[in-house]
Chain A
Amino acid sequence: MNTVNVSRRRFLQTSAVTGGGLVVGFAITGCSSAPAPLPVASTEGAWTPNAFLQVLPDNTIRFYTARSEMGQGVTTGLATLVGEELDVNPLDMEIRLAGAHEDYVNPDFGMQGTGGSSSIHAHYLQLRQVGANTRTLILDAAAKDLGVATSSLTTDNGYVVAGETRYPYADFIATAQSLTIEGDAPLKPASQFLYIGQETRRVDAIAKSTGTAQFGIDVDVPGMHYAVVVRAPVARARALSVNAASAKSMPGVTDIFEIGTGVAVVAESFWQAKQAAAKVDVQWESLPLEAIDTATLRRDYAAALDAGDGVEGPNEGDIEVALQSASTTHEAEYWAPLLSHSPMEPVNAVVSIQGDEADVWTGIQFPSAVPGLVSRVADIPAENVRFHQTYLGGGFGRRGTPSHIVEATEIAKTTGKPIQLVWTREDDIQQGPFRPASLMRIKAGVDSGGNLIAWDAARAGADISPDTFRSLLPALYSWMGDGMVEGVANLSEWYFEKFATDESSTEGLFEDYDHPNTRVTHMTVDHELPMTFWRAVGHSYTAFAKESMIDELAQAAGMDEVAFRLQNTQNSPRLNNVIRVAGEHMARMNPPAGHHLGFAAHHSFRTDVAEIAEVSVENGKIRVHKVTCVLDCGQAVNPDIVRAQMEGGVIYGLTAALYGGLSLEGGAIKESNFHDYPMLRMDESPEIEVIIIDSGTKPTGVGEPGLPPIAPAVANAVYKATGQRLRSLPLQVA
């Protein structure tokens, strides 16, 4: 089991910024070697002081964004951080999406990954320092070239200002290249911020409104062929026999052959490949998963909870004694189903192999994985793999799993053609990896003074981390043979089943309230469906159980829902303050007759959020009219993007709360497209008000924290409207 921990720690190393504007990252493998050349554009006469910035002779300032842009606005946010200290308006920069390189690691992860609502938090000081050091070098160069003291110069949006004269930064790049700085330049105090905290527009909005932003699916290279994979309806089943005779003779079809995950169909256009794929007849092997349907899943989870022999998580005080001494106790069970991420852009990749070199174009959350995977599959050196990041047409965790790159590489290698592999929407919904289903039980006790004194919480379901680990491991440890990869991945599964809780499985189930007696238990029940992170990860289901339970407890104890939460979050002052502000706001709301207000609050990804859902129930249909979202995310680098992320989190969460749920039948997912796996649309979308509490601390996450409170806020409102406690997602009134 130590192997697992050591491996995890090894890719959790950090990067650092040093003097001279140079950013130094540590190799994720822990092996030292000469740094690879930066994957930046080679432009005649340009100055590249570090991996993030280039100053061109025409004074264009290029910014290479190290984090994946999947809609969360990270490009604008990071450009704002570097621009603040460089003194360049982020909207005036030329934005480039960074390739794969150790200098682009996420300082919170130690690998090049985007997730966990971490980016602005992780880069807040690093990129400001990059900007400040680069500006200092330009000022020092200007002082030298102009023969004046540095202290006599200032800057203004890409220009050095000397008295009445403005010089483009580019005038001094020749000299700047020869300079170094001692230590780090000082950073601005918040009182001098020009861009941080301002409502600037998004740097990518025009490209994304004119069809000119390039997503992975838009990449087109000469000679490119298109591939679709015929996939087993039951996860991981292998083909026993393939009859492709009629498909092979269809127009445009060039190749049909088996790959690791199914049968690849290659054609001159995507349409031809998709049409031909429908004609391929495959006999799949039979797997134990075929015996599983949704009801079995839930029954097996319940049996595990009944048996009670899971892995113990946090255990404080004496839970049994506390429950006996409580004046009010309450117990309930909550269900959350399997979910698909379903980003609007189905996953896809373009791979072109030329001799012992390869180019890969895709939008992915873990670029670190690309060179290693392509190297392994194509049998070429990892340093010969050029990764070209594109915009991501939605991520939500789905683009952290790189299996489509393995597939595209297999197909490109076998055919010798540049290949664009596209997953169909049916692949997307039916193949996962999924957000796991969960069955949660909470038993809690309140004393006569309204204090929550006991919290006994358990969750049964599949773990999230091992499958993601399995998909990234072969990329990150290229020296491991396939057998060893499989062995280590199996070890991690076994470890989480037997020894320690996968943090992602129970996060959010127990941390927010002050109960001195706490017990958390986890039962891993794995039916071998592929799983991965889904927006807000464990919080996406634990908040539903926890905040429904809190509402039920407040009612059982005869207390107001907000007062009960305030009294029992004294040890979490920022969450407590968010609850207070939201509670005061709710008290002033005056919903029309038939509309009811539900409340929920949750801490996730370092951010505290409370939401109020205004809901009516008519003819058995739940209608969410308005959502008010109050949050504290520290310094809001771009308040409008913070609001957009709350709006997005609420709507993504509402789709799950009202509609989300995949059904398993005979081990296969029954739903296939948006007709039977519906998404919230504009006519069902509530008005959303966002109130940002500016606590001025270092920024915390915004991509995910808006999601967890919405399902319980709606459920708690439905209770007021109908008297029904809905404890299963999606919410359906009886």
Chain B
Amino acid sequence: MVHFTLNGETVQTDVDPNTPLLWVVRDYFKLKGSKFGCGAGLCGACTMHVDGAALKTCVTPIAAVANKSITTIEGLGTPEDLHPLQAAWHEHAVPQCGYCQSGQIMAAAALLDANPNPSSDEIDAAMAGNICRCGCYPRIKRAIQSVSENALAYDAMAQTEGRA
């Protein structure tokens, strides 16, 4: 039995401990926002936060996240209560097909949590693990910058909403 925290809720599962976190979250907890893209940790579509850090969960066995805190795209914000990055994604019309965007946003959120005002090169480096076949990269970068340029407001919002 593996215990962990999923979007703030304590949960447990008795699946094969080798099962990747991605499939536990998708097939057993039925949260479908995190995506399967490659199954080999190469594309980033499955990115979630594990104790605040962005992690490719299609190659992370569930046993490795025992007692850790997992945040998925569903835990970051909702259509009614958008995370600032999600609002920026809408404002800059970032998504095209949209399939990779959960992973992109989770990678970006972890970046900004660690580095609220990243340079262009730092954004490139942090986002290089996430593939977008529609070619949304220029807009993803612009959206991240729009939030990071308002880093103070972002911090304040994060604190009041408990998203430190």
Contacts and interface: CB of A to CB of B under 8 A. Distances in A.
Contacts of B37: 344-346, 425
Nearest to A69: B97
Interface residues of B, number: 63
B99 A393 contact: yes
A73 interface: yes
Contacts of A220: 30, 32
B52 interface: no
Given A212-B33, A673-B42, A649 B95 contact: no
A392 B123 CA distance: 28
A682 B96 contact: no
Interface stretch (A166-174, A200-208, A319-327): A200-208
B39 A274 contact: yes
B58 to A, nearest CB: 10
Interface stretch (A122-130, A234-242, A502-510, A683-691): A683-691
Given A214-B32, A391-B97, A650-B135, A269 B27 contact: yes
B38 A674 contact: yes
Secondary structure class of chain B's binding surface, majority of residues: loop
Nearest to A218: B32
Interface in A208-230: 208-215, 217-218, 220, 226
Nearest to B23: A271
Nearest to A653: B135
Interface residues of A, number: 64
Contacts of B23: 269-271
Contacts of B54: none
Contacts of A380: none
A213 B98 contact: yes
Most chain B CB within a 10 A radius of its CB, from A344, A391, A652, A675 = A344
A213 B123 CA distance: 26
Given A209-B95, A211-B72, A391-B98, A647 B39 contact: no
A201 B92 CA distance: 8
A71 B137 contact: no
A209 B140 contact: no
Interface string B29-45: 01111111111101101
Nearest to B16: A251
A336 B2 CA distance: 50
B145 interface: no
Given A209-B90, A271-B27, A391-B97, A673 B38 contact: yes
A709 interface: no
Contacts of A648: 96, 134-136
B77 A425 contact: no
B93 A344 contact: no
Nearest to B95: A208
B133 A652 contact: yes
B78 interface: yes
A673 B41 CA distance: 10
Contacts of A218: 32
A673 B40 contact: yes
A201 B30 CA distance: 30
A588 interface: no
A17 B9 CA distance: 53
Contacts of A209: 82, 85-86, 89-90, 94-95, 98, 101, 105
B139 interface: yes
B128 interface: yes
Contact of A217 (B19, B35, B77, B91): B35
A640 B96 contact: no
B124 interface: yes
A343 interface: yes
A422 interface: yes
B141 interface: yes
Contacts of B147: none
A688 B131 contact: no
Contact of B98 (A204, A274, A647, A680): A204
Given A206-B82, A344-B35, A682-B123, A644 B97 contact: no
Contacts of B74: 210-211
Contact of B97 (A70, A211, A640): A70
A679 interface: yes
B100 interface: yes
A206 B32 contact: no
25 contacts: A73-B96, A201-B91, A205-B90, A206-B82, A207-B98, A209-B101, A210-B73, A211-B73, A218-B32, A226-B27, A269-B15, A269-B27, A274-B39, A344-B35, A344-B45, A345-B37, A424-B39, A425-B40, A644-B96, A644-B136, A673-B42, A674-B38, A674-B40, A675-B40, A683-B125
Interface of B: 15-16, 19-20, 23, 26-28, 30-40, 42-43, 45, 72-74, 77-79, 82, 85-86, 89-91, 93-102, 105, 123-125, 127-141
In the A-B complex, the 3 residue pairs with the smallest Cβ-Cβ separation, listed nearest first, are A211-B33, A651-B135, A208-B98
